[in-house]
Amino acid sequence: MIFSQSKNYYFLLIFVALILSGCSRKKEDAKSDIEILLEKRYEKLLTYSVDSLAFPRSYSYKANAIKKVPSKDWTSGFFAGNLWHLYSLTGNQDYIEKAEEWTAFIEKEKFNNRTHDMGFKVYNSFGNGLKIKENKRYKNIIVESAKTLSTRFDENIKSIRSWDFNKEVWQFPVIIDNMMNLELLFEATKISGDSSFHKLAVTHANTTLKHHFRPDNSCYHVVDYDTLTYQPRMKVTHQGINDESSWTRGHGWGIYGYTLAYRYTKDTRYLNRAIATAEYFLNHKNLPKDGIPYWDFDDPAIPNAPRDVSAGTIVAAAMVEIYGYTQEEKYLDYSKKVMTSLKSPDYILAADFDAPFILDHSTGNWPKNDEIDEPIAYGDYYFLETLIRLKNIN
Ligand code: GLY
Protein backbone atom coordinates (compact mmCIF):
# COMPACT_ATOMS: atom_id res chain seq x y z
CA MET A 1 0.00 0.00 0.00
CA ILE A 2 2.75 2.38 1.08
CA PHE A 3 4.70 1.34 -1.97
CA SER A 4 1.78 1.94 -4.32
CA GLN A 5 1.10 5.36 -2.75
CA SER A 6 4.71 6.45 -3.15
CA LYS A 7 4.63 5.06 -6.71
CA ASN A 8 1.58 7.22 -7.46
CA TYR A 9 3.34 10.16 -5.90
CA TYR A 10 6.39 9.43 -8.03
CA PHE A 11 4.30 9.34 -11.23
CA LEU A 12 2.55 12.55 -10.22
CA LEU A 13 5.93 14.24 -9.81
CA ILE A 14 7.07 13.08 -13.24
CA PHE A 15 3.80 14.28 -14.73
CA VAL A 16 4.15 17.75 -13.18
CA ALA A 17 7.81 17.93 -14.24
CA LEU A 18 6.86 17.06 -17.83
CA ILE A 19 4.13 19.73 -17.91
CA LEU A 20 6.52 22.33 -16.50
CA SER A 21 9.30 21.47 -18.90
CA GLY A 22 6.78 21.59 -21.78
CA CYS A 23 5.75 25.10 -20.68
CA SER A 24 9.28 26.36 -20.41
CA ARG A 25 10.16 24.78 -23.77
CA LYS A 26 7.23 26.63 -25.30
CA LYS A 27 8.53 29.89 -23.82
CA GLU A 28 12.01 29.20 -25.22
CA ASP A 29 10.52 28.35 -28.61
CA ALA A 30 8.57 31.62 -28.63
CA LYS A 31 11.74 33.53 -27.78
CA SER A 32 13.81 31.81 -30.39
CA ASP A 33 11.12 32.42 -33.02
CA ILE A 34 11.55 36.13 -32.43
CA GLU A 35 15.33 35.85 -32.49
CA ILE A 36 15.09 33.90 -35.75
CA LEU A 37 12.77 36.53 -37.19
CA LEU A 38 15.16 39.30 -36.14
CA GLU A 39 18.10 37.49 -37.72
CA LYS A 40 16.14 37.25 -40.97
CA ARG A 41 15.48 41.00 -40.81
CA TYR A 42 19.17 41.70 -40.08
CA GLU A 43 20.12 39.71 -43.18
CA LYS A 44 17.90 41.95 -45.30
CA LEU A 45 20.23 44.83 -44.41
CA LEU A 46 23.33 42.77 -45.17
CA THR A 47 22.15 41.60 -48.58
CA TYR A 48 20.72 44.93 -49.71
CA SER A 49 22.73 45.96 -52.77
CA VAL A 50 25.09 48.89 -52.37
CA ASP A 51 24.20 52.05 -54.26
CA SER A 52 26.12 55.18 -53.37
CA LEU A 53 23.39 57.47 -54.64
CA ALA A 54 20.54 55.92 -52.73
CA PHE A 55 20.53 55.35 -49.00
CA PRO A 56 17.43 53.42 -47.86
CA ARG A 57 15.53 55.76 -45.56
CA SER A 58 12.06 54.25 -45.14
CA TYR A 59 9.44 52.08 -46.77
CA SER A 60 6.39 53.78 -48.24
CA TYR A 61 3.28 51.59 -48.08
CA LYS A 62 1.50 54.14 -50.28
CA ALA A 63 4.10 53.92 -53.05
CA ASN A 64 4.87 50.28 -52.27
CA ALA A 65 8.53 51.15 -52.54
CA ILE A 66 11.68 51.84 -50.56
CA LYS A 67 12.28 55.58 -50.18
CA LYS A 68 15.93 56.22 -51.07
CA VAL A 69 17.87 59.41 -50.44
CA PRO A 70 21.24 60.92 -51.42
CA SER A 71 24.03 61.40 -48.87
CA LYS A 72 23.01 65.02 -48.21
CA ASP A 73 19.74 63.84 -46.62
CA TRP A 74 19.78 64.02 -42.81
CA THR A 75 19.06 60.28 -42.57
CA SER A 76 21.86 58.97 -44.84
CA GLY A 77 24.15 57.91 -41.98
CA PHE A 78 21.64 55.64 -40.30
CA PHE A 79 21.91 52.74 -42.74
CA ALA A 80 25.69 52.49 -42.38
CA GLY A 81 25.20 52.97 -38.62
CA ASN A 82 22.80 50.04 -38.57
CA LEU A 83 25.40 47.82 -40.24
CA TRP A 84 28.09 48.86 -37.71
CA HIS A 85 25.58 48.17 -34.91
CA LEU A 86 24.78 44.77 -36.38
CA TYR A 87 28.45 43.85 -36.33
CA SER A 88 28.59 44.85 -32.64
CA LEU A 89 25.53 42.71 -31.90
CA THR A 90 26.34 39.63 -33.93
CA GLY A 91 30.13 39.61 -34.34
CA ASN A 92 29.60 38.68 -38.01
CA GLN A 93 32.50 40.24 -39.99
CA ASP A 94 30.37 40.51 -43.16
CA TYR A 95 28.59 43.47 -41.59
CA ILE A 96 31.90 45.34 -41.30
CA GLU A 97 32.58 45.02 -45.00
CA LYS A 98 29.11 46.32 -45.89
CA ALA A 99 29.27 49.08 -43.28
CA GLU A 100 32.59 50.28 -44.72
CA GLU A 101 31.16 50.42 -48.22
CA TRP A 102 28.08 52.43 -47.19
CA THR A 103 30.08 54.67 -44.87
CA ALA A 104 32.51 55.67 -47.62
CA PHE A 105 29.74 57.23 -49.69
CA ILE A 106 29.02 59.77 -46.97
CA GLU A 107 32.51 61.30 -46.97
CA LYS A 108 31.62 64.21 -49.22
CA GLU A 109 29.19 65.48 -46.57
CA LYS A 110 32.19 66.66 -44.53
CA PHE A 111 32.15 69.79 -46.72
CA ASN A 112 28.38 70.31 -46.76
CA ASN A 113 27.76 73.52 -44.81
CA ARG A 114 24.19 74.00 -45.94
CA THR A 115 22.62 72.11 -43.03
CA HIS A 116 23.39 71.27 -39.42
CA ASP A 117 22.79 67.51 -39.72
CA MET A 118 26.48 66.56 -39.60
CA GLY A 119 26.12 64.38 -36.49
CA PHE A 120 23.41 62.18 -37.96
CA LYS A 121 25.25 61.79 -41.25
CA VAL A 122 28.93 61.64 -40.37
CA TYR A 123 29.02 60.56 -36.74
CA ASN A 124 26.51 57.74 -37.10
CA SER A 125 28.54 56.30 -39.98
CA PHE A 126 32.24 57.15 -39.48
CA GLY A 127 31.88 57.59 -35.72
CA ASN A 128 30.40 54.13 -35.26
CA GLY A 129 33.11 52.72 -37.51
CA LEU A 130 35.72 54.19 -35.18
CA LYS A 131 34.13 52.43 -32.22
CA ILE A 132 34.79 49.14 -34.02
CA LYS A 133 38.36 49.75 -35.16
CA GLU A 134 41.06 52.38 -35.35
CA ASN A 135 40.98 54.33 -38.61
CA LYS A 136 43.01 57.49 -39.16
CA ARG A 137 41.03 58.41 -42.25
CA TYR A 138 37.73 58.26 -40.34
CA LYS A 139 39.22 60.47 -37.63
CA ASN A 140 40.25 63.10 -40.18
CA ILE A 141 36.77 63.04 -41.71
CA ILE A 142 35.20 63.65 -38.28
CA VAL A 143 37.50 66.60 -37.60
CA GLU A 144 36.91 68.05 -41.07
CA SER A 145 33.13 67.70 -40.56
CA ALA A 146 33.35 69.44 -37.19
CA LYS A 147 35.16 72.35 -38.88
CA THR A 148 32.39 72.62 -41.47
CA LEU A 149 29.66 72.44 -38.80
CA SER A 150 31.42 75.16 -36.81
CA THR A 151 30.84 77.60 -39.67
CA ARG A 152 27.14 77.51 -38.78
CA PHE A 153 27.82 78.74 -35.23
CA ASP A 154 26.92 82.35 -34.46
CA GLU A 155 29.09 84.03 -31.78
CA ASN A 156 26.33 86.44 -30.76
CA ILE A 157 23.40 84.04 -30.68
CA LYS A 158 25.74 81.39 -29.23
CA SER A 159 24.14 78.61 -31.22
CA ILE A 160 24.56 76.48 -34.32
CA ARG A 161 22.04 77.43 -36.98
CA SER A 162 19.86 74.47 -37.91
CA TRP A 163 18.14 75.26 -41.17
CA ASP A 164 18.47 77.68 -44.09
CA PHE A 165 14.97 77.23 -45.56
CA ASN A 166 11.83 79.22 -44.70
CA LYS A 167 13.88 82.46 -44.63
CA GLU A 168 10.79 84.61 -45.06
CA VAL A 169 9.57 83.39 -41.65
CA TRP A 170 12.67 82.49 -39.63
CA GLN A 171 15.85 84.47 -39.05
CA PHE A 172 18.01 81.95 -37.19
CA PRO A 173 16.14 78.71 -36.44
CA VAL A 174 17.59 76.25 -33.95
CA ILE A 175 15.83 72.92 -33.44
CA ILE A 176 16.08 70.62 -30.45
CA ASP A 177 17.38 67.89 -32.80
CA ASN A 178 20.55 69.99 -33.14
CA MET A 179 21.71 68.66 -29.75
CA MET A 180 22.47 65.40 -31.56
CA ASN A 181 25.38 67.12 -33.38
CA LEU A 182 27.31 67.67 -30.19
CA GLU A 183 28.73 64.14 -30.01
CA LEU A 184 30.62 64.78 -33.26
CA LEU A 185 32.01 68.04 -31.89
CA PHE A 186 33.09 66.54 -28.55
CA GLU A 187 34.75 63.65 -30.36
CA ALA A 188 36.48 66.00 -32.81
CA THR A 189 38.19 67.67 -29.85
CA LYS A 190 39.22 64.31 -28.42
CA ILE A 191 40.68 63.28 -31.78
CA SER A 192 42.40 66.54 -32.71
CA GLY A 193 43.15 68.16 -29.35
CA ASP A 194 41.51 71.34 -30.68
CA SER A 195 39.30 72.47 -27.79
CA SER A 196 37.30 74.90 -29.94
CA PHE A 197 34.84 72.15 -30.96
CA HIS A 198 34.21 71.16 -27.34
CA LYS A 199 33.70 74.82 -26.33
CA LEU A 200 31.31 75.39 -29.19
CA ALA A 201 29.28 72.31 -28.20
CA VAL A 202 29.06 73.51 -24.59
CA THR A 203 27.99 77.00 -25.67
CA HIS A 204 25.28 75.57 -27.92
CA ALA A 205 24.06 73.27 -25.14
CA ASN A 206 23.88 76.20 -22.70
CA THR A 207 21.85 78.37 -25.11
CA THR A 208 19.43 75.51 -25.82
CA LEU A 209 19.17 74.84 -22.09
CA LYS A 210 18.08 78.42 -21.57
CA HIS A 211 15.50 78.74 -24.32
CA HIS A 212 14.12 75.42 -25.53
CA PHE A 213 12.44 74.04 -22.42
CA ARG A 214 9.05 74.85 -20.92
CA PRO A 215 8.40 75.09 -17.17
CA ASP A 216 6.81 71.60 -17.24
CA ASN A 217 10.09 70.20 -18.69
CA SER A 218 8.68 69.51 -22.14
CA CYS A 219 10.44 71.22 -25.03
CA TYR A 220 9.85 73.35 -28.09
CA HIS A 221 10.89 72.03 -31.44
CA VAL A 222 12.10 75.27 -33.07
CA VAL A 223 13.43 78.40 -31.37
CA ASP A 224 13.95 81.21 -33.86
CA TYR A 225 16.52 83.83 -32.80
CA ASP A 226 16.48 87.50 -33.77
CA THR A 227 19.67 88.31 -35.67
CA LEU A 228 19.75 91.87 -34.26
CA THR A 229 18.91 91.31 -30.59
CA TYR A 230 20.23 87.68 -30.49
CA GLN A 231 17.18 86.74 -28.39
CA PRO A 232 14.43 84.23 -29.21
CA ARG A 233 11.75 85.85 -31.37
CA MET A 234 9.43 82.85 -31.70
CA LYS A 235 9.08 79.36 -30.32
CA VAL A 236 7.24 77.10 -32.71
CA THR A 237 7.05 73.64 -34.21
CA HIS A 238 7.85 72.24 -37.61
CA GLN A 239 7.02 68.58 -37.04
CA GLY A 240 4.67 68.61 -34.06
CA ILE A 241 0.90 68.99 -34.12
CA ASN A 242 1.03 72.59 -32.83
CA ASP A 243 3.55 75.05 -31.40
CA GLU A 244 2.80 74.16 -27.77
CA SER A 245 2.54 70.41 -28.28
CA SER A 246 5.00 67.71 -27.24
CA TRP A 247 6.33 66.12 -30.40
CA THR A 248 7.71 62.91 -28.95
CA ARG A 249 10.74 62.44 -31.19
CA GLY A 250 11.85 65.98 -30.37
CA HIS A 251 11.69 65.02 -26.70
CA GLY A 252 13.81 62.00 -27.55
CA TRP A 253 16.45 64.24 -29.13
CA GLY A 254 16.39 66.49 -26.07
CA ILE A 255 16.77 63.63 -23.56
CA TYR A 256 19.46 61.89 -25.62
CA GLY A 257 21.24 65.17 -26.42
CA TYR A 258 21.61 66.31 -22.80
CA THR A 259 22.60 62.82 -21.69
CA LEU A 260 25.48 62.79 -24.15
CA ALA A 261 26.40 66.37 -23.23
CA TYR A 262 26.75 65.17 -19.63
CA ARG A 263 28.88 62.22 -20.78
CA TYR A 264 31.52 64.57 -22.21
CA THR A 265 31.35 67.41 -19.65
CA LYS A 266 30.09 65.94 -16.36
CA ASP A 267 28.10 69.16 -16.01
CA THR A 268 25.22 68.10 -13.75
CA ARG A 269 22.92 70.76 -15.23
CA TYR A 270 22.88 68.66 -18.39
CA LEU A 271 22.11 65.42 -16.58
CA ASN A 272 19.36 67.15 -14.60
CA ARG A 273 17.91 68.49 -17.84
CA ALA A 274 17.91 65.01 -19.39
CA ILE A 275 16.32 63.52 -16.26
CA ALA A 276 13.62 66.19 -15.95
CA THR A 277 12.57 65.71 -19.57
CA ALA A 278 12.80 61.93 -19.20
CA GLU A 279 10.44 62.20 -16.19
CA TYR A 280 8.03 64.35 -18.20
CA PHE A 281 8.08 61.69 -20.91
CA LEU A 282 7.73 58.68 -18.59
CA ASN A 283 4.88 60.21 -16.58
CA HIS A 284 2.91 61.56 -19.51
CA LYS A 285 -0.70 60.44 -19.35
CA ASN A 286 -0.63 59.66 -23.06
CA LEU A 287 2.37 57.34 -22.98
CA PRO A 288 0.90 53.94 -23.91
CA LYS A 289 1.37 50.98 -21.58
CA ASP A 290 3.74 49.20 -23.96
CA GLY A 291 6.06 52.25 -23.86
CA ILE A 292 5.87 53.01 -27.59
CA PRO A 293 4.81 56.65 -27.81
CA TYR A 294 2.31 58.27 -30.12
CA TRP A 295 4.07 60.57 -32.58
CA ASP A 296 2.89 63.61 -30.57
CA PHE A 297 1.59 63.46 -26.98
CA ASP A 298 -1.03 66.10 -27.87
CA ASP A 299 -2.61 64.59 -30.96
CA PRO A 300 -6.37 64.72 -30.22
CA ALA A 301 -6.79 61.50 -32.21
CA ILE A 302 -5.09 59.54 -29.38
CA PRO A 303 -5.63 56.55 -28.90
CA ASN A 304 -6.08 56.30 -32.65
CA ALA A 305 -3.04 58.41 -33.52
CA PRO A 306 -0.01 56.77 -35.14
CA ARG A 307 2.85 55.63 -32.94
CA ASP A 308 6.45 56.61 -33.49
CA VAL A 309 8.75 53.68 -32.80
CA SER A 310 11.76 55.93 -33.47
CA ALA A 311 10.80 58.22 -30.57
CA GLY A 312 10.55 55.18 -28.29
CA THR A 313 13.91 53.74 -29.34
CA ILE A 314 15.74 57.10 -29.05
CA VAL A 315 14.44 57.54 -25.50
CA ALA A 316 15.15 53.87 -24.67
CA ALA A 317 18.78 54.23 -25.79
CA ALA A 318 19.19 57.42 -23.75
CA MET A 319 17.59 55.89 -20.66
CA VAL A 320 20.09 53.03 -20.55
CA GLU A 321 22.79 55.68 -20.31
CA ILE A 322 20.86 57.70 -17.70
CA TYR A 323 20.53 54.50 -15.68
CA GLY A 324 24.31 54.17 -15.85
CA TYR A 325 24.68 57.59 -14.20
CA THR A 326 21.84 57.36 -11.68
CA GLN A 327 21.44 53.63 -10.99
CA GLU A 328 17.68 54.34 -10.94
CA GLU A 329 15.95 51.16 -12.13
CA LYS A 330 12.95 53.00 -13.60
CA TYR A 331 15.07 54.25 -16.52
CA LEU A 332 16.39 50.78 -17.26
CA ASP A 333 12.87 49.37 -16.88
CA TYR A 334 11.57 51.72 -19.56
CA SER A 335 14.33 50.72 -21.99
CA LYS A 336 13.68 47.03 -21.35
CA LYS A 337 9.95 47.51 -21.73
CA VAL A 338 10.41 49.17 -25.11
CA MET A 339 12.67 46.33 -26.27
CA THR A 340 10.18 43.71 -25.05
CA SER A 341 7.30 45.46 -26.80
CA LEU A 342 9.23 45.79 -30.04
CA LYS A 343 10.42 42.18 -30.05
CA SER A 344 7.07 41.03 -31.31
CA PRO A 345 5.53 40.38 -34.72
CA ASP A 346 3.38 43.46 -34.07
CA TYR A 347 6.47 45.59 -34.60
CA ILE A 348 9.06 43.43 -36.41
CA LEU A 349 8.52 43.28 -40.15
CA ALA A 350 7.63 39.89 -41.62
CA ALA A 351 10.57 37.65 -42.52
CA ASP A 352 9.88 37.85 -46.25
CA PHE A 353 9.15 41.60 -46.40
CA ASP A 354 11.62 42.74 -49.02
CA ALA A 355 13.17 45.92 -47.65
CA PRO A 356 16.28 46.60 -45.55
CA PHE A 357 14.49 47.55 -42.34
CA ILE A 358 13.72 45.79 -39.08
CA LEU A 359 10.80 47.55 -37.39
CA ASP A 360 7.49 48.92 -38.54
CA HIS A 361 5.45 51.84 -37.10
CA SER A 362 7.68 54.90 -37.08
CA THR A 363 6.27 58.29 -38.02
CA GLY A 364 8.56 60.71 -39.84
CA ASN A 365 6.70 63.93 -40.58
CA TRP A 366 3.02 63.95 -39.66
CA PRO A 367 2.28 67.61 -40.62
CA LYS A 368 3.56 66.88 -44.12
CA ASN A 369 1.70 63.56 -44.23
CA ASP A 370 5.05 61.97 -44.97
CA GLU A 371 6.29 58.62 -43.60
CA ILE A 372 3.33 57.89 -41.36
CA ASP A 373 3.40 54.57 -39.53
CA GLU A 374 6.16 53.07 -41.64
CA PRO A 375 9.51 51.30 -41.32
CA ILE A 376 12.18 54.02 -40.96
CA ALA A 377 15.95 53.49 -40.72
CA TYR A 378 16.47 55.66 -37.64
CA GLY A 379 13.84 53.70 -35.67
CA ASP A 380 16.02 50.63 -36.35
CA TYR A 381 19.21 52.51 -35.50
CA TYR A 382 18.23 53.37 -31.94
CA PHE A 383 16.62 49.94 -31.47
CA LEU A 384 19.96 48.29 -32.27
CA GLU A 385 21.84 50.83 -30.17
CA THR A 386 19.60 50.08 -27.18
CA LEU A 387 20.17 46.34 -27.61
CA ILE A 388 23.94 46.95 -27.64
CA ARG A 389 23.76 49.19 -24.58
CA LEU A 390 21.67 46.63 -22.69
CA LYS A 391 24.06 43.85 -23.69
CA ASN A 392 27.00 45.93 -22.43
CA ILE A 393 25.48 46.66 -19.04
CA ASN A 394 24.65 42.98 -18.64
N1 GLY B 1 15.28 66.35 -38.03
C2 GLY B 1 15.22 65.12 -37.42
C3 GLY B 1 13.87 64.57 -37.21
O4 GLY B 1 12.99 64.68 -38.04
O5 GLY B 1 13.65 63.99 -36.20
Give tens-digit pLDDT for 305-361.
Answer: 999 999 999 999 999 999 999 999 999 999 999 999 999 999 999 999 999 999 999
200 in any annotated domain: yes
CB 273 within 8 A of CB 264: no
Mean pLDDT rounded to a whole number for the chain: 94
Ligand 1 atom at minimal distance to the Cα of residue 364: 4
The CB-side HSE value for 185 (13 A sphere, CA atoms) comes to: 30
The residues that bridge with 173 in the sheet, in sequence order, are 224
134 in any annotated domain: yes
Cβ neighbours of residue 167 closer than 8 Å, sequence gap 6 or more = none
Q: Is the pLDDT of residue 377 over 80?
A: yes
75 in any annotated domain: yes
Q: pTM value?
A: 0.92
11 in any annotated domain: no
Per-residue model confidence (pLDDT) at position 25: 46
Cβ neighbours of residue 269 closer than 8 Å, sequence gap 6 or more = 209
Per-residue model confidence (pLDDT) at position 334: 98
Domain span at residue 99? 32-393
Measured CA distances, 112 to 106, 107, 119, 147, 149 (Å): 11, 10, 12, 11, 8
13 in any annotated domain: no
Ligand 1 contacts CB of residue 249 (under 6 A)? yes
172 in any annotated domain: yes
Ligand 1 atom at minimal distance to the Cα of residue 120: 2
159 in any annotated domain: yes
Q: What burial letters (b/e) apply to 251-272, b meaning 16+ CB within 10 Å?
A: bbbbbbbbbbbbbbbebeebbe
The residue nearest atom 2 of ligand 1, judged by CA position, is 177
- For residue 200, report the distance from its CA to the centre of ligand 1, in Å: 22
pLDDT confidence bin for 53, thresholds 50/70/90: confident
Ligand 1 contacts CB of residue 177 (under 6 A)? yes
- Catalytic option among 117, 298, 373, 380: 117
CB 127 within 8 A of CB 136: no
Domain count, the chain: 1
The residue nearest atom 3 of ligand 1, judged by CA position, is 177
Ligand 1 contacts CB of residue 247 (under 6 A)? no
CATH number at residue 288: 1.50.10.10
**177 given a catalytic annotation:** yes
pLDDT confidence bin for 32, thresholds 50/70/90: confident
Q: Give 63-78 pLDDT, tens digit per residue.
A: 999 999 999 999 999 9
pLDDT confidence bin for 8, thresholds 50/70/90: low
